[in-house]
């Protein structure tokens, strides 16, 4: 059960759910590909009887692959523990696994919803959302998938 589902009040329903975009995995994937390239080149060099260079390349490749895997695991975990929900009464943002951080804003307190998208964000469908309300604002929600749809769900009231 999601956090938003567990805190719904009577008569309140979830209108939209936001997620982090898959772009959060790019750094880990890039390092993994670089690591595989080093490993492949190291094993290829080893066949050419240059064992000293080959062993260095294999070690570097393994390190890149290990760091890439750690970044992928971290991105997956961060994506899994982050919830953004728009209900009929509130906007709810939750992150954290053991130590939880939640921010909720009533719909009648929402003044503006800002969406920032780079050129890459426009092409791939991700961006940053800022929900501003009377007296407070929800922190910037970065790398959100389909930010315009989420903004429309918030502003539709």
- pLDDT of 157 higher than 70: no
pTM of the model as a whole: 0.85
Looking at residue 54, what is its pLDDT?
Answer: 83
pLDDT band at 66; cut points 50, 70, 90: very high
User: For the chain, how far is it from start to end, CA to CA, in angstroms?
Assistant: 25
The correct answer on CATH 1.10.10 for the domain covering 3-20+88-155 is no
Is residue 18 exposed (0-12), middle (13-18) or buried (19+ Cβ within 10 Å)? buried
> Would you state the structure tokens that stand for residue 17, as one six-digit string?
């759910």
Task: Enumerate long-range contacts of 54-60, CB under 8 Å, 24 or more apart.
Answer: none
Domain boundaries, the chain: 3-20+88-155, 25-77
pLDDT band at 48; cut points 50, 70, 90: low
Looking at residue 13, what is its pLDDT?
Answer: 93
- pLDDT of 148 higher than 90: yes
pLDDT tens track for 97-130: 999 999 899 998 898 999 999 999 999 999 999 9
Rounded Cα–Cα distance for residues 88 and 4 (Å): 12
Looking at residue 55, what is its pLDDT?
Answer: 85
Looking at residue 156, what is its pLDDT?
Answer: 85
Phi, psi of 25 (to 5 degrees): -90, -5
pLDDT band at 52; cut points 50, 70, 90: confident
DSSP 59: H
């Amino acid at each position: 059960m999601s956090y938003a589902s567990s805190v719904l009040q009577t008569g309140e329903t979830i209108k939209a759910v936001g997620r982090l975009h898959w772009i959060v995995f790019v750094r880990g994937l890039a390092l993994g590909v670089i690591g595989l390239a080093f490993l492949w080149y190291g094993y290829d060099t080893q066949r050419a009887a240059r064992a000293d260079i080959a062993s260095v390349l294999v070690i570097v490749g393994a390190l890149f692959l290990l760091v890439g895997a750690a970044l992928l695991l971290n991105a997956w975990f961060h994506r899994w523990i982050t919830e953004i929900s728009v209900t009929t009464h509130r906007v709810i943002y939750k992150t954290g696994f053991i130590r939880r951080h939640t921010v909720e804003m009533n719909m009648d307190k929402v003044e503006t919803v800002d969406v920032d998208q780079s050129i890459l964000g426009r092409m791939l469908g991700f961006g940053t959302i800022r929900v501003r309300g009377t007296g407070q604002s929800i922190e910037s929600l970065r790398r959100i998938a389909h930010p315009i749809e989420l903004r429309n769900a918030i502003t539709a009231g």
